[in-house]
Structure 1
Amino acid sequence: MIAIDDLGVRHGETPVLAGVSLTLVPGRPVALVGESGAGKTSLALALMRLSPGQVHGRLRIDGEDVMAFDAGRLRRYRGGQAALVVQAVGEALNPHMRVLDQVVEAMTCQGTAAASKAATRALALLAAQGIEEDTAARYPAGLSGGETQRILLAMALANDPALLILDEPTAALDPASRATALATIKEAARDRCVLFITHDFAAVRDVAVETAVLYGGRLVEHGPTREVLAAPRHPYTRGLVRALPERHGGKDLQGVPGVFARPARGCLFANRCPQAVAVCREMEPRLNRRACGHVCDHGRDHGHDHVLACHRGGIVAAMTVRGLTKSLGGRRILDGLDLTLGCGETVVVCGESGSGKSTLARILAGLETPDGGGIAFDDAPGRVNHGGLALAPQHPHTAIAAHFSIAEAVAEPLVCGGMGDAARREAQTAACLAAVHLPTDKAFLRRRAHSLSGGELQRVAVARALVQDPAVLVADEATSALDVSVQAKIVRLLMELQEKRGLAMLFITHDMALARRVADRILVMDHGRLRPASGA
């Protein structure tokens, strides 16, 4: 067992890693994922005591603290007990030695095999990676990146290390070589500790039993791979999973909004988080086991080994609807409807015309009164969005007075809300028009709503919905009356706004193909209640 305890690395005054604790167990390979610059390679180098920075914390292997090793003990540890396959393959091999000799040297330097036996074992290790004898007899010059990567993996396994650290071991490989390398890694992981650093999430699913997520040098989530990738609990992890082109489901790619900026205090992810509140900007969260209390698990028990660093205990509900009922003309439209919408999540509600979708939207927006049930919003103090809900209607030409100027149409919710500061209203109006890619010059602001095209008016309706900075946006058939080209632009706009503003979105449509392109979850209105869409 390998125990990493409170490991940190600093380069001068700059923290690169902080408080990293992991336990590596033979047979349970751990994948380490995160954006470039998260500190993954810095951790790999620190575990080999090759870091150029100042390292603190403890690393125990078989009860010994690697950080206390002297030079002689460290030589036996590197390449003997622990091996690293580096990401920078171009500099990893000695250009003045033949490939076979370098693999042999890895064994003879550790005294694990005599030169004659080492050569036989080296050829077998190389052959297992698809490296033939004539290539083994060559110098590294002229080798492809994929060949070098496979040679380094063979070299790393030469002394049967207890700890194998792999830094992007499949990055330069063609599909066939990648499959061979992954098979080798899985076989090697049966009886040794493996830390698998990668951007290849398909390989994570294939190889790793556990997945740890690194952000800004700190672990923010760690748990069983299946759970971390299928139902991420931290907003950052969800952003990574949304960016995967190979992920299941058809939702168009989304990434993590913004860029990393190290704050003076508070949570490292607060400036990019759709659900950050006051405490997130003041205190750094610890990695600990907490009750879920969030929407993305759908009531599942994640077990006791799924941990995260989040003051809010993971992704929280932006809106919760319980037991909503509504009857019209003696017919029950909504029948005890329940709905939970997570911060930053897109839930699509589909159903036939007349099934009650628009009735639900109007009740949520406060335009109709339900017969029973309740609606609650995330009202934690200091949240990023001001909170509440706004509606982007199905027919903007009936929702916006035709004689209103564009400025009046967008600013109307602010006027109705009592904002008396005209300069502030103008600034927010212009900002929201810019956000939906409409002009903000005086000539456009003076134009009347009736003079706009359908696509332009729909953008004005979205700008008007955003002007009070809601946490939840309900888009009720917001593209149904538009031609396909304009529809695509509006849908991309809504996804862009969600990513930038952290909006939770309830997207109502009868178009299942469109639903699959925008949804994190698809629900179907069925006899006044919502159920998951089959096959979605």
Structure 2
Amino acid sequence: MIRVDHLCLWHGPRTIFRDVSFEVPKGQTLALLGASGSGKTSLARLLLGVLPGRHVKTADQNGDGFRWSGRAEVLGVDMLEAPLAEQRKLRRTDLSLIVQALSDALNPHQTVFQHVAELLPHSRRRTSLALALCKRFNIPERILHRYPATLSGGEIQRVLTALALARDPQVLILDEPTAALDHGNRALAVAALSAGQAQRSQLLITHDFDLAAQMADRMVILHDKQLVDRGPAVEMLMQPGGRAVVHRTRATTQRGIAPLVPGPEPLPTSPSGLVIQRLSHQQTGTLVLRDISAAVRPGRCLAIFGPSGGGKSTLARLLCGYERLQTGRILWRARDEAQPRICHPQELALVSQHPHRAMARHMSVRDVLSDAMRLCRRIGRAGHDVDIAGLMQRVDLPHSGAFLSRRAADLSGGEAQRLTIARALVSRPRCMIADEPTASLDSDTRDTILKLFRRLMAQEQLALIVFTHDPKVAEALGHDIRFLSEGQLRLSPSGVAA
């Protein structure tokens, strides 16, 4: 079981949360809900014993780094004060974590099959048992011999789920376990996580009320640095006139952003902007993209919508030059009907799904932007007149000295994502590539980022290609919505948001 008593956490002078207490007995799932930046993941890292810092007896708001007080027990072991050897033993046997689709949670030098097989004892049946385990957790055969760098977010999520559940842990911590998954794979993941649920304690960390309703027995709400509400999930989510905080939060998260309804616009035969011509790509002998052709004009967005494993992340990496083109061309046409030229990868900028992993954690906000400016000047993509204050204003971030001095690791999810957008703008890109840019964010923060993309398109005539499995994101940004499945790009099916 999990037992947390009067847990407090500080970072430098800042209180992250205080006086947090809850229990998760065997056979139950507790959903911990809260907005991005509320401290949910830090709490999970405390329970795992992997948050760097020190234990203090009383409130210490003048120290450096992370400090904590209280107790955080997992199966009777206080993970805040137990010896490292005891913590490691617990993590190897009875305590597992499923994080949100992070490729760096996997060994980059091992294939998917090697990751799964090393969990099993050496025997003549090891290969067949590993294959059965992959099938059980919906890992397709086509990715078994691929490396993490070539997997989509949804494929990584399925691998992480299999690795966490393979040893039947007694305690399972789930940190946004389905955010990277499309609707079909999400249902399969929920089914896998529900199997054996009665034999373990589960802490579900999420900002997704629908997922909490599907999986949780009880819920607690982390808001304004403390637990503000708790109770049975059914009562808190279903009953009319139920808990005020939950209903206020639900109303906020369901407000959303209105779909983009572009006006009719006759396009020339050869429009200006980014042009993708007959792009195909193979991985480990398998054709993952087939004859992809598309175009996006300045000031407009091409939304590429589709399920996990359909080729979205591979196409995003090819466009940005992170993988070598095998077949096809990526061009830029300066004006309508003009002759296109080869588009250099430096003219495109990537905004990733996991902004904290896209920046050095120890660097300050100012250092992140200054480093990008130095690199861009070296390759001739930015002049010496880039104004940091103006750049911050363009992405709705403070430009005070205190904020510019904050470490990237200490930013909320929304702040970190806006900083990655600001960093991308340093190079004055012609086109921005956004790969699942809102999947890790709560609904309010997601809408803020979507509105920012809309404004950048309108005011700066920036071309945008957004890859997503979320139909709301596709409809909110896409002037042109295409469906990518099994490596082929098609016109979007009707009723994409259904």
User: What is the TM-score of this pair, normalised by structure 1?
Assistant: 0.43
Q: Which has the higher contact order (CA 8 A, sep 6+)?
A: 2
Bigger Rg, which one = 1
